[in-house]
Amino acid sequence: EGRRLAKLANAPTRTRDGVPIRLFANAETAADIALARARGADGVGLYRTEFLFLKHKGLPSEDEQFIAYRDLVLGMGGLPVTIRTLDLGADKADAAGLTLRGEDNPALGVRGVRLSLRYPAVFTTQIRAILRAACYGPVRVLVPMVTQPDELIAVRTLFKLARQDLKREAIDLPEKLPLGAMIEVPAAALNVRALLEHADFLAIGTNDLAQYVLAADRGNDGLENIYNPLQPALLRLIAYVITAGRRANKPVSLCGEIGGDVNFTALLLALGLCEYSMHPSQLLHVRDRLALLDHAALRRQAARLVRARTHEEVAALLEELGQ
Ligand code: PEP
Ligand code: MG
């Protein structure tokens, strides 16, 4: 099994019927990046920058961030990397003291882009570091916890202002820098067409999307019968977002835990997903699984899957499909 999988490291990712699928890595550390390369990732689909803020006592400086982002870009050797802007708050409390104290519901509070926009100076430091790193290779910027279009518009404005400042300082700038939205808030999924007017790409964050759709804390072990990725309500949102992205001709990836879990590979393929992002240790497993799956046959089952009434019904359907 190990040897068979190892052979897949440099193989293209294709379904049994020859449809190409892109596999990205969720990677932060040098070890993750090395593994992503070794396992033949098509790029980094999610680089969680908050880890730089969590390990610090104070805030990381522009140069510290620049070096981390540049090393990521160089480490991927010309493959695209997706840098997510700061996603602090809720389960990601920070050491630097940016997150608000005393919120009754931190998961529904000032977190992700909401927090970044509340501290434009801190956010601009990160934006400058990203812009500088993007001169070293293809970078995309991903915004977490987007709820409505004005947040993307505000982020774009901050990027534009940072570009003007860097230009004035005679610092090199990248030509283009695609800006994407995480889809992890139900309102963002339901109103995705409005977001697509302002986003160059989307990444579905099913860890949080499931939590918010199901009103079930992602870290609470007592909710397993509810916090289930096969819940029809979640599948309908995922399918809707993928379809909207395809119609707008913009890439849609999925970077929650289920992206790297082979138990969900067929389901996501059926819903139309063409880009999976996962921990690099999962890349070969998902590539191996995809090679066994018939894309056309699964796509024909999409309507049945999203019409299911319970997660048990979805599970039974997948079993019937041989998954
Ligand atoms: C998600 O919410 O699915 C996601 C990928 O982001 P995180 O786990 O960092 O919240
Ligand atoms: Mg999330």
Q: Is the pLDDT of residue 143 over 80?
A: yes
Q: Which of 54, 183, 184, 227 to mutate to test the pocket of ligand 1 (most atoms within 8 A of CB)?
A: 184
Q: Is 43 in the pocket of ligand 1 (CB under 6 A)?
A: no
Each residue's pLDDT tens digit, 293-323? 999 999 999 999 999 999 999 999 999 988 6
Non-local CB neighbours of 217 within 8 Å, separated by 6+ positions? 107, 211, 223, 227
Q: Where are the beta strands (DSSP E) in 165-232?
A: 179-183, 201-204
CA–CA dist 31, 318 (Å, integer): 35
Q: Which atom of ligand 1 is nearest to the CA of 203?
A: 5
Helix (H) or strand (E) holding 46: strand 44-48
> Residue 235 has what pLDDT?
98
Q: Kindly list the protein residues that place their beta carbon closer than 5 angstroms to ligand 2, a single-atom ion.
A: 184, 205, 208
Centre of ligand 1 to C-alpha 3, Å, is 32
CA–CA dist 200, 179 (Å, integer): 5
Long-range Cβ pairs for the range 5-9 (8 Å, 24+)? 5/284, 5/285, 5/288, 6/284, 8/40, 8/284, 8/287, 8/288, 8/291, 9/38, 9/39, 9/40, 9/284
Centre of ligand 2 to C-alpha 206, Å, is 7
CA dihedral 163, 168, 172, 173 (to 10 degrees): 20
Ligand 1, atom 4: closest residue by C-alpha = 205
Centre of ligand 2 to C-alpha 202, Å, is 13
Non-local CB neighbours of 115 within 8 Å, separated by 6+ positions? 86, 88, 89, 98, 99, 100
By the 8 A CB rule, do 33 and 76 touch?
Answer: yes
Mean pLDDT is lowest, of 80-94, 117-131, 258-272, for: 80-94
Centre of ligand 1 to C-alpha 305, Å, is 24
By the 8 A CB rule, do 255 and 277 touch?
Answer: yes
Q: Is the pLDDT of residue 95 over 70?
A: no
CA–CA dist 199, 267 (Å, integer): 26
| Parallel/antiparallel/unpaired status of strands 275-278 and 22-26 | parallel
Q: Where are the beta strands (DSSP E) in 184-302?
A: 201-204, 252-254, 275-278
User: By C-alpha distance, which of 218, 224, 256, 219 is closest to 237?
Assistant: 256
Q: Round the average pLDDT of the chain to a whole number and report it.
A: 95
Q: Which of 48, 227, 241 to mutate to test the pocket of ligand 1 (most atoms within 8 A of CB)?
A: 48
Q: Which atom of ligand 1 is nearest to the CA of 208?
A: 2
ipTM of the complex: 0.99
CA–CA dist 43, 277 (Å, integer): 9
3-class SS at 89? strand
Q: Is the pLDDT of residue 241 over 90?
A: yes
Q: Is 206 in the pocket of ligand 1 (CB under 6 A)?
A: yes
Q: Is the pLDDT of residue 145 over 70?
A: yes
Centre of ligand 2 to C-alpha 184, Å, is 6
User: By C-alpha distance, which of 68, 201, 182 is closest to 140?
Assistant: 201
Ligand 1, atom 8: closest residue by C-alpha = 207
> Residue 94 has what pLDDT?
66
> Residue 171 has what pLDDT?
96
Q: Is 50 in the pocket of ligand 1 (CB under 6 A)?
A: no
| Residue range 233-247: mean pLDDT, rounded | 98
Tokens of 122: 């801190």
The pTM of the whole model exceeds 0.90: yes
Q: Above pLDDT 70, what percent of the chain? A: 98
By the 8 A CB rule, do 251 and 24 touch?
Answer: no
| Residue range 130-156: mean pLDDT, rounded | 98
Q: Above pLDDT 90, what percent of the chain? A: 88
Each residue's pLDDT tens digit, 16-55? 999 999 999 999 999 999 999 999 999 999 999 998 988 7
Mean pLDDT is lowest, of 55-64, 71-80, 266-275, 303-312, for: 55-64
Ligand 1, atom 6: closest residue by C-alpha = 205
Each residue's pLDDT tens digit, 118-133? 999 999 999 999 999 9
Ligand 1, atom 1: closest residue by C-alpha = 205
Q: Is the pLDDT of residue 86 over 80?
A: yes
By the 8 A CB rule, do 237 and 190 touch?
Answer: yes
Backbone angles phi, psi at 135, to 5 degrees: -75, -10
CA 150 from chain centre, in angstroms, equals: 20
Regarding predicted confidence, which is higher, 86 or 6?
86
Centre of ligand 1 to C-alpha 46, Å, is 9
Centre of ligand 1 to C-alpha 142, Å, is 12
CA–CA dist 171, 237 (Å, integer): 42
Q: Which atom of ligand 1 is nearest to the CA of 48?
A: 9
| Residue range 257-271: mean pLDDT, rounded | 98
Centre of ligand 2 to C-alpha 322, Å, is 31
